[in-house]
């Protein structure tokens, strides 16, 4: 701003000197013409000053606008950077949650498979237990029947024992013979057969009871 003022003053001085020199060398223009020229020059100078002031104002305003725009751009850039950082943070959190969800899903799937396997195994155990208990009940009934059969066979054999004993003693007044002893021996064979069946059933039942004790889970 100082430079254009210096230039203006220098222009006025030089203009005055030139005008004086011209006036002295060639006193052609009249005083009125000179005054008009000076006035015109003053108007031009004033216009120049106004234009210069306007230019400087525009320059200053442009600098202010540029500074404000720069600040706004910097603020916008900072806001965008913050939004980017927030987005990346949220994205990282979502990825972490996704990984956690995948892990939990795999754990859940594994647990479901384990439960399904356990349920199937328990079903097999229960079915096997049910079959074993049914078999045990049948054997217990068969043992009871076998015991009754032995008792009945012993009773029948006992009916022929007295006649055979009398025949063997030779002192009986009853009509007895070897046939009575043969019948008695035959009945004893039946007793032995029934007793053998009973022993076999009792052994089978005992083995089954041990198997149930091992294979069937105990109630807590």
Residue 105 tokens read as 């899903």
Question: Which pLDDT value is given to residue 10?
Answer: 46
Domain range for residue 148?
A: 123-215
Report pLDDT digits (tens) over 119-177: 676 676 667 888 989 999 999 999 999 999 999 999 999 888 888 888 778 765 567 67
Distances (CA, A) of 95 to 86, 99, 107, 129: 14, 6, 18, 50
Among 48, 83, 109, the domain boundary falls at: 109
The answer to the question of residue 220 being in a domain is no
Among 109, 143, 167, the domain boundary falls at: 109
> In this structure, how many other beta carbons lie within 10 angstroms of the beta carbon of residue 73?
10
Question: pTM for the complete prediction?
Answer: 0.45
Residue 208 and residue 130 share a domain: yes
**Contacts (Cβ under 8 Å, ≥6 apart) of 173:** none
Residue 171 and residue 133 share a domain: yes
Residue 89 and residue 25 share a domain: yes
Residue 164 and residue 210 share a domain: yes
Residue 162 tokens read as 């007295």
Report pLDDT digits (tens) over 69-117: 888 878 888 887 888 888 788 888 888 888 888 888 888 888 878 877 7
Residue 64 and residue 150 share a domain: no
The answer to the question of residue 114 being in a domain is no
Residue 132 and residue 83 share a domain: no
Residue 194 and residue 132 share a domain: yes
Residue 131 and residue 104 share a domain: no
Question: Which pLDDT value is given to residue 177?
Answer: 77
Q: Tokens 């540029």 belong to which residue?
A: 66
Residue 61 and residue 87 share a domain: yes
Residue 95 and residue 60 share a domain: yes
Among 44, 79, 109, the domain boundary falls at: 109
Mean pLDDT (the chain, rounded): 80
The answer to the question of residue 14 being in a domain is yes
Q: How many structural domains does the chain have? A: 2
Residue 57 and residue 155 share a domain: no
Residue 156 and residue 62 share a domain: no
Q: Tokens 């442009």 belong to which residue?
A: 62
């Amino acid at each position: 701003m100082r430079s254009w003022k210096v230039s203006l003053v220098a222009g006025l001085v030089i203009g005055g000197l030139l005008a004086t020199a011209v006036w002295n060398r060639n006193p052609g223009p009249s005083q009125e013409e000179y005054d008009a020229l000076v006035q015109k020059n003053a108007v031009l100078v004033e216009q120049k000053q106004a234009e210069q002031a306007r230019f400087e104002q525009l320059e200053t305003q442009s600098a202010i606008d540029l500074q404000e725009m720069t600040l706004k751009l910097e603020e916008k850039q900072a806001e965008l950077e913050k939004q980017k950082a927030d987005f990346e943070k949220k994205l990282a959190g979502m990825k972490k949650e996704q990984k956690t969800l995948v892990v939990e899903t795999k754990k859940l799937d594994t647990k479901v498979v384990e439960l399904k396997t356990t349920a199937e195994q328990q079903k097999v155990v229960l079915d096997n237990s049910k079959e074993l208990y049914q078999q045990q009940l049948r054997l217990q009934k068969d043992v009871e029947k076998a015991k009754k059969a032995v008792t009945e066979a012993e009773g029948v054999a006992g009916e022929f024992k007295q006649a055979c004993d009398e025949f063997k003693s030779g002192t009986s007044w009853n009509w007895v013979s070897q046939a009575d002893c043969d019948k008695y021996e035959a009945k004893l064979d039946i007793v032995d057969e029934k007793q053998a069946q009973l022993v076999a059933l009792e052994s089978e039942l005992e083995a089954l009871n041990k198997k149930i004790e091992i294979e069937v889970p105990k109630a807590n």
